[in-house]
Amino acid sequence: MRYSVLAKGAKRAPPVMCVAACELFGGNRLAAFPTACALEMNLFIQGRIQGTTLFIKRRMSTLLRSLEVLPLFIQASLIHDDLPCMDDDPSRRGQPSNHKVYGVDMAILAGDALFPLGFHHIVSHTPSDLVPEPRLLSVIAEIARSVGSTGMAAGQFIDLEGGLNSVEFVQEKKFGEMSECSAVCGGLLAGAKDDEIQRLRRYGRAVGVLYQVVDDILEEKTTKSKADEEEKKGKSYVALYGVEKAVEVAEELRAKAKKELDGFEKYGESLLPLYSFVDYAADRGFSFGESSY
């Protein structure tokens, strides 16, 4: 469990997105930390985002540096996703996959144990004076939905059993769900209105799929054998439609995510961190003025 949860190089966006969404609606970041922890974050992040706008520099670097949390739900799903009977990936972000180090049996148990640990952490550590019980229950229900039979599990099922026309569904369920969940949970913790939650839902899903589409495009630019290309056929927009069409899809997703955020313009500069995640998903870096990171 520790091997996967504390791995270097894990993605940082989903938990920070949760905290940023919570703060957007006036919530205290301390209210969001336990949920961000359960979603994905590393034990201690010494991240530093700098930019030409002092507000952005302070806000993003503080979000990244102050989260002392653990990645649970996403790491649990990735452990199972890498198994030989699933996507059969021997490595994860530069290090051997869990089952390559500890065996398939221990990897299955590690993933199984991390899921309930995430829920336990949220319930045990979320400050009751900051988050009323109904909001906390809504967060738990949202996470359970996103990882269950209508969420990520459904995406993995169709990835294994579906045909070539199932790529959009697979991308949304396997990669859009957790980003959507991260944004929505931040809003729920802060008491956002129903229409605001729905806007966050569409924004988060677009960002999650955008990140994966760009991943597929970047991967296609590396040298691969025909066997590798055939094995992944139908699992991505690149494999099904080619790079040019995938680039078009990425631009559409980028525009869609930003359009949803435009509906929150009344919150002013508090929106900037959420905007930055769209560009990060597309460009793999935060861009503020003339500086990129």
Which tokens belong to 199? Answer: 């806007």
Give me the helix-helix angle, 177-190 and 194-220, nearest 10°: 150
What average pLDDT does the segment 175-181 reach?
91
What average pLDDT does the segment 278-282 reach?
88
pLDDT at 189: 96
In sign, the C-alpha dihedral spanning 221, 227, 231, 234 is positive
pLDDT at 5: 78
pLDDT at 202: 97
Q: Range with the lowest mean pLDDT among 4-13, 37-46, 139-148?
A: 37-46
pLDDT at 103: 96
Q: Is the pLDDT of residue 161 over 80?
A: yes
Radius of gyration of the chain (CA): 18
pLDDT tens, residue by residue, 206-260: 999 999 999 889 888 775 544 454 455 446 888 888 899 999 999 999 999 999 9
pLDDT at 142: 94
Q: How many CA atoms, within 13 angstroms, populate the side-chain half-sphere of residue 190?
A: 26
pTM of the shown model: 0.82
Q: Range with the lowest mean pLDDT among 37-46, 135-144, 282-291?
A: 37-46
Which tokens belong to 18? Answer: 């949760």
pLDDT at 165: 76
Q: Is the pLDDT of residue 185 over 50?
A: yes
- Position with higher pLDDT, 224 vs 60: 224
Residue 176 to residues 50, 189, 191, 257, 273: CA-CA distances in angstroms?
27, 20, 23, 12, 19
Determine the residue type at 269: E
Q: What is the mean pLDDT of the chain?
A: 81
% of the chain beyond a pLDDT of 90:
43
pLDDT tens, residue by residue, 7-28: 765 556 778 889 999 999 999 9
Output phi, psi for 60, to 5 deg: -70, -45
Q: Range with the lowest mean pLDDT among 70-79, 93-102, 170-179, 204-213?
A: 70-79
- Position with higher pLDDT, 142 vs 284: 142
What average pLDDT does the segment 197-207 reach?
96
